[in-house]
Amino acid sequence: MHHIIIGAGPAGVIAAETIRKQAPRDEITLIGDEKEAPYSRMAIPYLLVGNIQEQGTHLRKSATHYEDLRINRVIAGVKSAQSATKTIVLDDGKSLKFDTLLIATGSHPIKPPVPGIDAEGVHNCWTLEDARSIMKLAKPGAKVLQLGAGFIGCIIMEALAARGVELSVVEMGDRMVPRMMGPTAGGMIREWVQAKGVKVHTGTKVEAITPGKPLKVKLSNGTTMEADLVISAAGVRPAIGFLEGSGITCLLGVLTDEHLQTNVPGIFAAGDCAEAFDKVSGKTIVSAIQPNAAEQARVAALNMVSHARGLKAQANLRGVTQINVLDTLGMISTSFGDWQGARVASMWKSPMQPRADT
């Protein structure tokens, strides 16, 4: 039996390890498009602060971990998937056949439609590669403009402050963390970070970025700011574009049932890319935090093994945790339940819609 996992983040790695425990003789292929040892994005802020080195972000520390477990690692992007023929196609043109498939491709940052967003000195804060670029530019005294004051934007503020940069935040919502926090909490976070020297512009859009050193950033309030580094933190969406035409149903994420199985028997999804069924609320939800990715991966993997053995699904997802805890420059805030302004997925929504979150 051949189990293929697309995505070598936390969900993909945990799924591969779980399958190996259950099925010592099956073939497992873990495909990821980043040229890194599998790592945890949530460790990036600690890397930026300097508390850990790159190796500290790696999910498993032994250099031979995957080899030892006989997990074939393939570094490539998956371009397309065909459920009818149980085939995936890689970006180098090779195709691979599977008996079960796990889609664990996570999310991609949304690129805001701003002229100049691809200029040198503009970066996301999503990958290890982004972190390296940020560390090169975020030197003491450097002017850093952060586009977006959502979840990721707030998480990395501590690290930027620790690097001694002059930080300005531009958020088009009327408050900080607008999806996660109401006006009172959003206002408290704003006052807290302003007292620590961060300049905050809410209700303001970045209209254009002019390339150069420094970059010139035009705002909708009529001002133009100079920046040595612009960090684009405008939200994320499930990385599922390659599934178009695959026969796998997608809403905001890949639609799954309580076993993490998609509409196609034998094909599963887990993690940030999955729209998972939450027994508690009776709804399907994309809840892009690592504990959800880990639990969904475990449940999906157990069911992949059952499917390969011709058995009924053995594991159920009990719920999707809708909790977020945020540390913004030392102020700890938390939100539970439905996020304000979060769109609820429904079967009537057209597939593949982007998700503007964080």
Ligand X SMILES: Cc1cc2nc3c(=O)[nH]c(=O)nc-3n(C[C@H](O)[C@H](O)[C@H](O)COP(=O)(O)OP(=O)(O)OC[C@H]3O[C@@H](n4cnc5c(N)ncnc54)[C@H](O)[C@@H]3O)c2cc1C
Q: In the complex, which residues of this chain contact ligand X (CB under 6 A)?
A: 6-12, 31-34, 41-42, 44-45, 77-78, 104-107, 125-126, 152, 155-156, 239, 242, 271-272, 288-291, 293
Least distance (Å) between residue 74 CB and ligand X: 9
Comparing CB distances to ligand X, the nearer of 26 and 130 is: 130
Give the pair of three-digit tokens for residue 310.
């011709």
Least distance (Å) between residue 241 CB and ligand X: 8
Sheet holding 283-285, edge to edge: 254-255, 274-278, 283-285
Comparing CB distances to ligand X, the nearer of 8 and 144 is: 8
Comparing CB distances to ligand X, the nearer of 78 and 206 is: 78
Least distance (Å) between residue 114 CB and ligand X: 20
Give the pair of three-digit tokens for residue 319.
């719920």
| Long-range contacts (CB closer than 8 Å, 24 or more residues apart) made by 330-336 | 330/158, 330/192, 331/188, 331/189, 331/192, 331/193, 333/177, 333/181, 333/185, 333/188, 333/189, 335/180, 335/181, 335/185
Least distance (Å) between residue 36 CB and ligand X: 8
Distance, CA of 190 to CA of 199 (rounded, Å): 9
Residue 301 exposed, middle or buried by CB count within 10 Å (0-12, 13-18, 19+): buried
Comparing CB distances to ligand X, the nearer of 91 and 174 is: 91
Comparing CB distances to ligand X, the nearer of 130 and 171 is: 130
Distance, CA of 263 to CA of 21 (rounded, Å): 26
Least distance (Å) between residue 155 CB and ligand X: 5
Residues 6+ apart with CB under 8 A from 267: 83, 100, 101, 103, 248, 261
Comparing CB distances to ligand X, the nearer of 8 and 177 is: 8
Distance, CA of 39 to CA of 58 (rounded, Å): 4
Least distance (Å) between residue 89 CB and ligand X: 10
Distance, CA of 228 to CA of 216 (rounded, Å): 9
